[in-house]
Chains A and B, each alone.
Chain A
């Protein structure tokens, strides 16, 4: 299967702990996006990469959030000092980023902060 892969599927953590999520995009896709989705809402944009360059970050992305895509392939999203409000589904998507852009999503990482 060459779809977008996210790990872990579920993460339960205590408030104040750090967590890191990983996303492996479709191999030939040069754009990679991170979204956050809470219950009853659509995905909200967090940040995106064109190859290894982080081109845009949402105002939703506080200082506690950092994302990397060191070699332009997989990406990690780290949340430091987690808060209960960080509980959400974190979705990764990738695309070719050309012409009519189509996003392909992973299954997401469900984060619960206790």
Chain B
């Protein structure tokens, strides 16, 4: 079945770049997404990439997709304390499947 995996924790210093990685199993995925969840809140869509693209940039966010390796990454440039949250990778073919989330801690 479909499965999405992520490392559970990432810690960076304010001002550094963060890179959050994700692997997925369904090669038929049409879109891949990154969502952000802050404490006590629902998920907020950050960005998405179509499966025939290999890169997408949106302000401080860069998404890289290696379709051959089924690997997706999210790079956050100039990470701020407000970026501290849980980041979920998700794939969609017929249904959305979410990873377990990566908790990003930004240290001052």
Whether the Cβ atoms of B99 and A105 lie closer than 8 Å is no
Whether the Cβ atoms of B96 and A45 lie closer than 8 Å is yes
Contact with B along A1-25 (1 / 0, CB 8 A): 0001010000000000000000000
The bracket for how many chain A residues form the interface is: 20 to 34
Contact with A along B27-49 (1 / 0, CB 8 A): 00011010100001111110010
State the majority secondary structure of interface residues on A. loop
Whether the Cβ atoms of A108 and B92 lie closer than 8 Å is no
Whether the Cβ atoms of A41 and B100 lie closer than 8 Å is yes
* A56 to B95 alpha-carbon distance, docked (Å): 10
Partner of A103, one of B30, B45, B50: B45
Whether the Cβ atoms of A91 and B43 lie closer than 8 Å is yes
* A54 to B104 alpha-carbon distance, docked (Å): 36
B88 close to chain A: CB less than 8 A: yes
A102 in contact with B45 given A42-B4, A42-B88, A107-B40 (CB within 8 Å): yes
Whether the Cβ atoms of B95 and A108 lie closer than 8 Å is no
Which residues 79-114 in A have Cβ within 8 Å of B in the complex? 91, 93, 100-108
* A106 to B95 alpha-carbon distance, docked (Å): 18
Provide 10 A-B residue pairs closer than 8 Å at the C-beta atoms, listed in order of the A residue. Answer: A4-B42, A33-B96, A41-B101, A43-B43, A45-B95, A45-B96, A101-B31, A102-B45, A104-B45, A107-B40
Q: Lowest 10 A-B CB distances belong to which pairs?
A: A42-B98, A105-B42, A105-B43, A107-B42, A43-B98, A106-B42, A42-B100, A42-B88, A108-B42, A100-B31
